[in-house]
Chain A
Amino acid sequence: MSNKFETFSAGSDREAISESHDVYSHPIVNTSFSEEAQAQQSPVESSERRMDTASLPERQRDLLGGLGVRLEALRADRINTQEMYDLAG
């Protein structure tokens, strides 16, 4: 990981975090995804959706975290499978 970023404490108050001013406006900021792309959220989101009354940003955060966990699991599984093949020759 690059050290371009300064250390950030997860416990910092939201108010203490400086405002972000984009020098380079990248596509995550300004892309308009198609309705079809938006619709792709539903199958994954439905399995991640919490049963409580979490707000939309909380659900989005949970969904993002859930996707990260799944991807890490896929990577780990792939590497473990490769090692099995290596062990077996």
Chain B
Amino acid sequence: MKSLFKKAFNLITGNSSAPALAMPKNRPLKRLTERELLQLESEIGSKLFGEVPAGHRREFFCLDAKTWIWYEEWKDQTTGKVANSTVRYEVHEKGVLKVQEGARYSFIEGEELDNLVTAATMYYEQVARHVYGINPQTGRRITTPVPAA
């Protein structure tokens, strides 16, 4: 117990003479920011609906526990300008609220809600497995995710 306390103390104070706690140099996890993790998740999310049309950029990701984001960007063929559309789905007490630009709000239901839940479930299953290396059914680690560069 005394030894454990000493190791913990050394970790806090920065004393590096605690070899028992040294991690292998070849660390299994690449350091990623939350933003980078979201980008990795979104790469998976963007492919859930099939191939992204040529000239389009698509993002679909879970921003936080209560918010899902859909973003699509494309070049308008007539004007030549880049157009985009962002949809935010928020989980509220009353239901799932769809928020779009222009102060357009609506609680979704029926097919759109079915599709969102299916997409979110597929997203969770694939992101848990391929980004975090977690078995989505058991919650146990299955492999080392995102190998260090």
Q: Which of A's residues lie within 8 Å of B, judged by CB? A: 1-2, 4-6, 8, 10, 14, 17-24, 26-29, 31, 33, 37-38, 40-41, 43-45, 57-58, 60-61, 63-65, 67-72, 74-75, 77-79, 81-82, 85-89
Contact = CB atoms under 8 A, between A and B. Distances in A.
Given A5-B99, A27-B115, 8 more contacts: A6-B103, A19-B106, A37-B122, A57-B95, A65-B66, A67-B62, A67-B123, A68-B65
B29 A71 contact: no
Interface residues of B, number: 67
Contacts of A6: 103
B20 to A, nearest CB: 10
A16 to B, nearest CB: 9
Chain A at the B interface: SS class: helix
Which 8 A/B pairs are nearest by Cβ-Cβ distance?
A20-B106, A27-B49, A68-B65, A24-B85, A88-B23, A65-B91, A17-B105, A6-B103
